[in-house]
Amino acid sequence: MTQIRMNVNGSVESLDVEPWVSLLDALRERLGLTGPKKGCDQGACGACTVLADGLRINACLALAVQYDGSEITTIEGVAHPLQEAFVRHDGFQCGYCTPGQLCSAIGMLAEYEAGMPSAVTPPGAGAYELSESEVRERMSGNLCRCGAYNGILDAIMDVAGEEGTR
């Protein structure tokens, strides 16, 4: 057992965990935060996406012991215009992937603001618009089996439009 401390959604939590416990299991099974979902449990679907020190990660491939001292945000700790935009644009059907989609989109917008390029950013680009193809590429780590991608895209574009162009 290792004792770890994490700031989860603004509250400091102290946990004793075995080293093989994933961050996802620690959040769900130990802290009762079932927003992050165990979809594939192998880093392929993105349903477990949370923010660790502001960066989006797959909680299923993260060992909890590696996040000792980190600040973790799950969907339970999120209050963001994207949430209403997802409702407005039908950005979900069953809702299973939605917590991960939202945490991922929040992380994605922060990455864009910080100047992170993507695979579709033109080489040598200076300021560039967060286009639909940019958003699709940057959100490719979050799968939706209902196929709500167009609604998800519209919701993100709606909110990103208010935040302007880099």
Q: Which residues bind another protein (CB under 8 A)?
A: 2, 18-20, 22, 41-43, 46, 49, 55-58, 61-63, 65-66, 104, 107-108, 111, 114-119, 121, 123-124, 136-138, 140-142
Element of type H or E holding 150? helix 149-163
Which residue's CB is nearer to another protein, number 11 or number 119? 119
Least Cβ distance, residue 65 to another protein (angstroms): 6
- Assess contact for 166 and 130: CB atoms under 8 A: yes
Tokens 């994490």 found at: 6
Element of type H or E holding 47? none
Least Cβ distance, residue 68 to another protein (angstroms): 9
Among residues 10, 6, 7, the alpha carbon closest in space to that of 77 is found at 10
Among residues 3, 116, 14, the alpha carbon closest in space to that of 55 is found at 116
Which residue's CB is nearer to another protein, number 34 or number 118? 118
Least Cβ distance, residue 108 to another protein (angstroms): 7
Which residue's CB is nearer to another protein, number 57 or number 102? 57
Least Cβ distance, residue 139 to another protein (angstroms): 8
Least Cβ distance, residue 118 to another protein (angstroms): 6
Query: How many other CB atoms are found less than 10 A from the CB of residue 18?
Result: 11
What SS3 class is residue 138?
helix
Element of type H or E holding 87? helix 81-88
Which residue's CB is nearer to another protein, number 88 or number 156? 156
Which residue's CB is nearer to another protein, number 84 or number 133? 133
